[in-house]
Amino acid sequence: MNSRIVSFIALLVSVASLGYAVWLHQNIDSIAQAALRQREAELVRHFTPNVLETDRGMGIPENKLPKSPQTLEELFQPTFEMITNMGDAQEPAQSSVTATNAEK
């Protein structure tokens, strides 16, 4: 009789474990996305003062800086725009290797 009870309890635990594994497998994407959003929010809160100070130091106007960034993309957007537009202001400089080859 005791062996049947132990077997029945083992079967119940196995079914419960299987059910939990199936539930976890179905919800793992949402759990991972929530963890990533939380980590990104922590990074944005941590780096916002330093990035904004750096942007101001590089001469980015105050009206182009994000007021309260929520994502890393929003936080670094002014920096990326400035770096991307750096090449538009002047012609690319001729490298010294190219200049040396042209003289030969």
Q: Could you read off the pLDDT of 45-60 as tens digits, one per residue?
A: 999 999 999 999 988 8
The 10s digit of each residue's pLDDT in 8-34 is 999 999 999 999 999 888 888 888 999
Q: What is the pTM of this model?
A: 0.58
pLDDT of residue 3: 86
Going from N- to C-terminal start, the domains of the chain cover: 2-89
Helical axes 2-57 vs 72-86, angle rounded to 10°:
40
pLDDT of residue 84: 86
The 10s digit of each residue's pLDDT in 89-100 is 555 555 555 555
